[in-house]
């Protein structure tokens, strides 16, 4: 089968450094004594904790329930005892804390009762729910819940399934090793994914610097119809979802739209493998392969339980003495960890030990000379230098007009910038500022709406009250005219309801109380005299006298008995 390849514009070719870690087989990381499992490990909401301190959990037991449909479940990676459910710092550039479950492992690795499913007998909806409850999320780094990506979008169906084995970031080899060693797992996962979306065609894109992985997947997919393993040119960021879709199908998915809207969807090879485990074996996603590389003596890949402390894990690779930073992810898009005692999450594809020699800090930032090197390498086909000027000037409207949200933060522009400008930092700043402004605006809009609603309600109530008062006044006048008649009519009716006390007595007592209260009010009113009116003009004083007269009239009116309780 021949697939015509398309090109994405831009891209760079940094030194790959993959050989160091790609030569060694995947090993199993030792079970740590404690695991810290963050409940928030995917896009969407934070799952609600299902366990509390002291509770014993089994391997694979759900400890976090997906909140709504837009999140994914979290499971205990091994058996043991919950020792804490509390806020802990996450391995995230923000350095923010979120609810984590700390488990003291018991070393027994006792599984829950696994419930494998024959996928061919199940409906796509059931399979999607299983994936959600098994905590399957994209393992390429974005950790988007997989069940959501399997819903057909605007186009109604997903004809082409793209499997991403490009792994374009330098140093990282976890997908490469997975493809070499577990191609059959990936193949089964692909079959399930294909079944769920009934895709006619599957394209597996792998950068052509991984011939063994390509061969392994070709062998594993030999029997499958309509499946192509396509070597794609090695050029960062060929493994970016939109870039790979472009290379394999020619379709460009703009920011804010999803592949499903165009009849394509893309999954990482490791995600496919975890789909297989979730459905065929009933095992939730509790571990992942992590590349340990950089300034280390023994680079390689380790199958790691989620929640394993990163520093303990990195020790397996024996970092060299001059290691000064630890990076999670690759050198192009990874971030420097604020601390190394943070846990491995579903997003941790690589831990890089960094040294000043290996990843030298950039030189001093110079002014932009508009050389256009960034424009040539931008895979989103933006004008990075323009976005830089606008971001720097906080001209966010312009930045947005020039497509700052189309930026995928791949870092190509900053990689080539001769002026050493940390371009991506400027874009992050502009984007987050805009999001904050948007949030503030939404909050302000909500507050204004609330205020307007309340004002309208107060207004309405006031009008209603005035109307009622007017009606009452009118009725009061009538009542004054025929007070005796009304009383005569009311009294017998009321007597009919009275059971214990004679109504007349009650009536008298009430009347006395009311009369007393009225007198008190009257005496108070009499005591209150208009003030500061001595120096007024005669006209003003006349006006005041008029007002006073009106007030007296109102008081008189108020004295007339109401015809019904207010």
Partner 1 sequence: MANSPHVHLPISVRVIMLKVLLALVPGIAVYVWFFGAAILVQIALASAAALLGEAAMLRLRGKPLSLFLTDGSALVTAWLIALTFPPIVPWWLIVSATFFAIIVAKHLYGGLGQNPFNPAMVAFCISIIAFPALMSQWPAVGFTDFAAQMHVIFQSQSPQDAVTMATPLDALRTQLHSAAARATVAGILGSHATFGNIGGKGWEWIALAYLAGGLWLLQQRIITWHVPVAFLGVLAAIATAFSLANPDSYAGPTFHVITGGAMLGAFFIATDPVSGATTPRGKLIFATGVALLTWIIRTFGAYPDGMAFGVLLMNLCVPLIDMRTQPPVFGHKDDKRGDDKQGGGTP
Q: Tell me which of 315, 394, 435, 468 binds partner 1, using CB under 8 A.
A: 435
The closest alpha carbon to 228, from 201, 260, 196, 195, belongs to 201
- Please, which residue, 214 or 328, has the CB nearer to partner 1? 328
Q: Is the peptide bond before 237 cis (omega within 30 degrees of 0)?
A: yes
**Smallest distance from the beta carbon of 8 to partner 1, in angstroms?**
8
- Stretch of 297-305, 424-432, 469-477, 538-546 contacting partner 1, by CB under 8 A: 424-432
Q: Where are the alpha helices (DSSP H) in 324-411?
A: 373-377, 384-392, 396-401
Q: Tell me which of 400, 433, 473, 560 binds partner 1, using CB under 8 A.
A: 400
Give the tokens for residue 510: 């009430």
50 binds partner 1 (CB under 8 A): no
9 binds partner 1 (CB under 8 A): yes
**Smallest distance from the beta carbon of 48 to partner 1, in angstroms?**
25
Q: How many Å apart are CA 506 and CA 197, to the nearest integer? A: 79
Q: How many Å apart are CA 18 and CA 511, to the nearest integer? A: 97
Three-state DSSP class for residue 221: coil
190 binds partner 1 (CB under 8 A): no
* 67-96 residues near partner 1, rule: CB under 8 A: 93
111 binds partner 1 (CB under 8 A): no
**Smallest distance from the beta carbon of 422 to partner 1, in angstroms?**
6
* CB-count burial class (<10 Å; 0-12, 13-18, 19+) for 70: middle
411 binds partner 1 (CB under 8 A): yes
The closest alpha carbon to 308, from 103, 171, 106, belongs to 103
- Stretch of 55-63, 295-303, 403-411, 447-455 contacting partner 1, by CB under 8 A: 403-411
**Smallest distance from the beta carbon of 12 to partner 1, in angstroms?**
8
Q: Tell me which of 332, 342, 344, 351 binds partner 1, using CB under 8 A.
A: 332
Q: Tell me which of 361, 493, 496, 505 binds partner 1, using CB under 8 A.
A: 361
Lookup result for tokens 């948007």: 438
The closest alpha carbon to 137, from 347, 450, 392, 424, belongs to 347
* 239-298 residues near partner 1, rule: CB under 8 A: 242, 246, 252-257
Q: How many Å apart are CA 409 and CA 429, to the nearest integer? A: 12
Instruction: Report the DSSP beta bridge partners of residue 227.
Output: 202
**Smallest distance from the beta carbon of 458 to partner 1, in angstroms?**
34
**Smallest distance from the beta carbon of 265 to partner 1, in angstroms?**
16
Q: How many Å apart are CA 74 and CA 58, to the nearest integer? A: 13
Q: Tell me which of 329, 344, 347, 391 binds partner 1, using CB under 8 A.
A: 329
**Smallest distance from the beta carbon of 315 to partner 1, in angstroms?**
21
Directed axis angle between helix 211-220 and helix 183-197, to 10°? 60
- Please, which residue, 335 or 451, has the CB nearer to partner 1? 335
432 binds partner 1 (CB under 8 A): no
What spatial distance separates the first Cα and last Cα of the chain, rounded to whole Å?
Answer: 87
Sign, CA torsion 429/430/435/436: positive
* 339-358 residues near partner 1, rule: CB under 8 A: 352, 354
- Stretch of 55-63, 282-290, 360-368, 540-548 contacting partner 1, by CB under 8 A: 360-368
* 130-189 residues near partner 1, rule: CB under 8 A: 170
* CB-count burial class (<10 Å; 0-12, 13-18, 19+) for 392: middle
Kindly state the greatest CA–CA separation across the chain: 109
Q: Tell me which of 6, 70, 111, 405 binds partner 1, using CB under 8 A.
A: 405
- Stretch of 176-184, 215-223, 430-438, 551-559 contacting partner 1, by CB under 8 A: 430-438
DSSP letter for each residue of 273-311: HHHHIIIII---S-EEEEEEEESBSS-EEEEEETT-BHH
**Smallest distance from the beta carbon of 130 to partner 1, in angstroms?**
30
* 219-248 residues near partner 1, rule: CB under 8 A: 242, 246
Q: Where are the alpha helices (DSSP H) in 204-251?
A: 211-220, 241-249
Task: Kindly state the DSSP code that residue 438 receives in the 8-state scheme.
Answer: H
Tell me, by CB under 8 A, how many residues bind partner 1: 73
* 362-391 residues near partner 1, rule: CB under 8 A: 362-364, 366-373, 375-376, 379-383, 385-386
331 binds partner 1 (CB under 8 A): yes
Q: How many Å apart are CA 164 and CA 167, to the nearest integer? A: 8
* 19-38 residues near partner 1, rule: CB under 8 A: none
- Please, which residue, 238 or 332, has the CB nearer to partner 1? 332
């Amino acid at each position: 089968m021949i697939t015509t390849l398309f090109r994405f514009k831009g891209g760079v070719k940094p030194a790959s450094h993959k050989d160091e870690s790609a030569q060694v087989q995947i090993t199993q990381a030792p079970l740590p004594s404690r695991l810290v499992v963050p409940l928030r490990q995917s896009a969407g909401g934070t799952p609600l904790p299902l366990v509390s301190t002291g509770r014993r959990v089994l391997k694979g037991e759900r400890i976090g329930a997906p909140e709504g449909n837009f999140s994914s479940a979290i499971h205990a990676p091994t058996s043991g005892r919950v020792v804490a459910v509390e806020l802990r710092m996450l391995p995230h550039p923000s350095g923010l804390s979120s609810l984590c479950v700390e488990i003291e492992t018991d070393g027994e690795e006792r599984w829950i009762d696994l419930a494998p499913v024959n996928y061919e007998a199940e409906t796509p909806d059931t399979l999607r729910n299983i994936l959600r409850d098994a905590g399957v999320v994209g393992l390429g780094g974005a950790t988007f819940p997989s069940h959501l990506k399997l819903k057909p979008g605007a186009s109604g169906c997903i004809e082409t399934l793209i499997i991403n084995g490009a792994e374009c970031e330098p140093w990282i080899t976890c997908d490469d090793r997975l493809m070499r060693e577990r191609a059959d797992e990936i193949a089964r996962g692909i079959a399930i994914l294909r079944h769920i979306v009934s895709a006619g065609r599957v394209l597996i894109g792998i950068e052509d610097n991984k011939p063994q992985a390509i061969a392994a997947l070709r062998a594993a997919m030999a029997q499958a119809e309509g499946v192509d393993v396509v070597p794609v040119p090695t050029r960062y960021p060929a493994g970016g979802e939109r870039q790979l879709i472009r290379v394999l199908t020619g379709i460009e998915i703009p920011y804010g739209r999803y592949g499903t809207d165009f009849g394509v969807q893309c999954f990482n090879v490791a995600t496919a493998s975890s789909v297989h485990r979730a459905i065929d074996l009933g095992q939730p996603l509790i571990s992942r392969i992590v590349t340990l590389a950089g300034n280390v003596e023994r680079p390689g890949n380790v199958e790691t339980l989620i929640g394993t402390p990163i520093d303990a894990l990195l020790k397996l690779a024996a970092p060299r003495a001059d290691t000064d930073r630890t990076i999670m992810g690759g050198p192009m898009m990874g971030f420097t960890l604020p601390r190394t005692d943070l846990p491995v999450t579903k997003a941790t594809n690589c831990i890089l030990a960094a040294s000043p020699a290996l990843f030298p800090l950039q030189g001093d930032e110079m002014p932009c000379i508009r050389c256009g090197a960034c424009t040539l390498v931008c895979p989103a086909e933006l004008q990075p230098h323009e976005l830089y000027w606008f971001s720097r000037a906080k001209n966010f409207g312009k930045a947005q007009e020039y497509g700052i949200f189309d930026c995928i933060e791949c870092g190509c522009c900053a990689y080539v910038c001769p002026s050493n400008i940390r371009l991506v930092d400027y874009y992050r700043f502009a984007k987050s500022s805009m999001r904050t402004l948007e949030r503030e605006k939404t909050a302000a809009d909500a507050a204004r709406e609330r205020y307007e609603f309340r004002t309208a309600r107060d207004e309405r109530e006031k009008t209603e009250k005035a109307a009622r008062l007017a009606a009452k006044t009118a009725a009061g006048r009538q009542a004054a005219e025929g007070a005796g008649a009304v009383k005569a009519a009311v009294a017998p009716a009321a007597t009919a309801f009275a059971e214990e006390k004679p109504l007349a007595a009650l009536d008298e007592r009430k009347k006395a109380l009311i009369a007393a209260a009225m007198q008190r009010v009257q005496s108070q009113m009499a005591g209150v005299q208009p003030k500061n009116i001595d120096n007024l003009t005669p006209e003003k004083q006349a006006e005041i006298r008029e007002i006073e007269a009106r007030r007296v009239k109102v008081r008189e009116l108020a004295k007339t008995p109401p015809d019904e309780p207010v």
